[in-house]
Each structure stands twice: as C-alpha cells, then as structure tokens.
Amino acid sequence: MDSIHETNPLSAKQLSGKVALVTGGNRGIGKAIALRLAGLGADVAICGRDNSTIRDAANELAALGVRVHSQAADVTRASDVSTLVQQSEAVLGPISILVNNAGIGLFGPVHEKSETEWDALLDTNLKSVFLVSRAVIPGMIQRKSGDIINISSLAGKNTFAGGGIYCASKWALQGLSGCMAEDLRAMGIRVSTVCPGSVFTEFSGRGGKDPSKVLAADDVAHAVAMIATQGQQSFLSEVHLRPVSKP
C-alpha cells in the first residue's frame, strides 16, 4: 500500500525542469513560496531590496538542491525588471512560473495619507505586477505555456476603515489579473490570484496579531503550490484563504 507521503500530490518533485521567479522572495510570504516551489523541484529566482536577506534566502534555497538565482532589484522600476528577467533566464532558463508577490502595506484614513505614500504603495502593489508580467509574458506566449500567480488579498474583495489606499491597490490588482487571464488563456497561459486574509509576518499591518488566529506564510505557499501543480487542462483562477479562527 502506498504511504501518505507517496500519494500526496504536493510531495513529489512535480516542478522539476520548471523555473520560477518570485518577487519579494527574500522574506515573509515570498520566501515561503520560493522554498515551497524549490521543494517541489523548481529552480528558483528571487529578488528583493535588502542584500543580506536575499543572500540568506538564496542559501536556504540552494540547500534544497535546486539551482538558484538571486539579485537586488526594485520591481517598480522598468530598467531593474528588465535586468532581473534577463539575468534570471540567462542563469536558469525560461521562466515558466511567475509569482508577483512584492508588496507593502500602508494603513490609515485616506485624508491622512500623502501623495508619496500613495505612489509608493500603488507602485509596489500594482505597477510592479504590470512591469514584471510584461517582461515575462512574451516568452510564455512563444512557448504557449506558463503560470502567473499574483498575491492579492481579501482586501481586494472587501473594504475596512483605514484600508483606503491598500484596498485600492488590491482591488485594482484583482481587475488587472482577471483581464490578463482573459487575454492569455487562449495562449496556454494561466493567470491566478491568491487572496489571503491576515498573515503572521513582518509585513506592516494594523497592529499586533495573535499567531494562533491568523494565517502562516506557509499557508499562502501551499495555495501557490496547488496552483502551480494543477493539471494543464484546469484553471484555478482565484483562491481565498482565511484562518479557521476569526482574529
């Protein structure tokens, strides 16, 4: 009789031969996603803005026996994105899985937020998805396959006090992702969103969180792995993640 480990679809090296790029893969949710995809056999490229955490994350990934590319990049800048994609593919090969994870949180009433804060949040949470996707999509079209997985939020489906510009970025991301999915599905490319609720990370949020009543970064990574390992004939377009216990 097969063991549970042998029959678990997420335990095999299902992504061997695949190359994944995870933005913001140096810490938090992004790092958990990168480690999960590497555990499934994918070669992984990560980027971030902090060299020390990028180096540490790259070492953890390499310890899993996969090829790794890491570099500092600001994914709100088109020139950085172009260099990131070119160098990642030069080292690892064509990107078959893109996880647009980079994001920040700024909370408070809209009338108390500055234009600088608006620009920083929208550029990181929304513009970066446009820039990185635009750089990767042509190769996916040529190969007629690929997965683009955008890390959104339940804040892209709901509103709450103090969430004005954050919710705006995530609602816009939902619309962008849905239209990308329709543009690309006939070309064999799937665009999906993962919408977590509160996650226990260093991510800037709205106060303290009880770890027992929020999601873990690994929960989001599990959802990404589920999307990345689905059969080619299926299209898991949107995943909502909630903690069992309400915060």
Q: Catalytic residue positions? A: 166
Which residue, 58, 74, 55, 195, is CA-closest to 132?
74
Give the three-class secondary structure for 22: strand
C-alpha pair distances (Å), 97 with each of 28, 117, 216:
19, 30, 22
Instruction: For residue 25, give Cα distances in angstroms to 46, 52, 99, 144.
Output: 5, 13, 9, 26
User: How many CB atoms lie under 10 A from the CB of residue 144?
Assistant: 10
**Dist. CA 110–CA 114, nearest whole Å:** 8
What gap in Å lies between CA 159 and CA 154, rounded to an integer?
9
User: How many angstroms separate the CA atoms of 82 and 134, rounded?
Assistant: 10
Total number of residues shown for the chain? 247
Helical residues (DSSP H) of the chain, grouped into ranges: 4-7, 28-39, 51-62, 78-92, 115-122, 128-143, 164-184, 217-228
195 secondary structure, DSSP code: E
Q: Which two tokens stand for residue 20?
A: 């994944």
